[in-house]
A = this chain, B = another copy of it.
Amino acid sequence: MADSPRKRTDTTDGSKGQQTRERLLEAAAAILTEKGYSGTRLGDIAKRAELQAPAIYYYYDSREALIEDVVRRGQQSAQAHVENALAQLPDGTPFLERIRCAVEEHLRVVLNLSDFTTAAIRNMGQLPEAMRKQIRSDHKSYGELWQRLFEEAQSNGEIRGDVDVTAARLLIIGALNWSPEWWSTRVADIDDVVAAAIALTDGLIARP
């Protein structure tokens, strides 16, 4: 059996095939965001990526494999950005401040960074069970990262003791995740959205 170029996952290669693969992924992310999981047709992806539908099968074994790749990237890019931003913070930064940082970064990724994140968020609930299972493990560690921040902040006395931090955390992430549904430069400046999101987060602050 000869080598197949399929299933390569490194993105650093600048060869023609890799470029086409990237175009394909970006096209798929855009269509996925716009039409949803079931509405995403290979024909539409191909048209946007400027090739013919059967060419997709040179890069992916199936429609599902392509979609899974898009969703996984969307998810990982959010996670990577936030983790990176948190890592920049000096030791001893208060947990509430770390949460503010995570809120800002997550929001900026979701609003700025291509369709990948939006595609992942918007379609997670409609993916077939088999795909969700694969993706959920990545998702889980991201959720735990947030959860730890909130729990530490609360046991530290930075966050009100009487709020359910799990609910608060999920509400906040939800607010951020939903923002692509309504945001455009006409509605509000991105910095104003960030400021508003942080203001809401500050509702959790413990006050004397």
- Residue numbers of A with Cβ under 8 A of B are 34-40, 122-126, 160, 162-164, 166-168, 170-179, 181-183, 187-189, 192-193, 195-197, 199-205
Contact = CB atoms under 8 A, between A and B. Distances in A.
A163 B196 CA distance: 6
Contacts of A40: 38
A130 to B, nearest CB: 15
Contacts of A37: 36, 38-39
B164 A171 contact: no
B203 A125 contact: no
B193 A164 contact: yes
Nearest to A197: B171
Given A122-B125, A164-B195, 10 more contacts: A34-B126, A39-B126, A163-B192, A164-B196, A170-B179, A170-B187, A170-B188, A172-B200, A202-B203, A203-B205
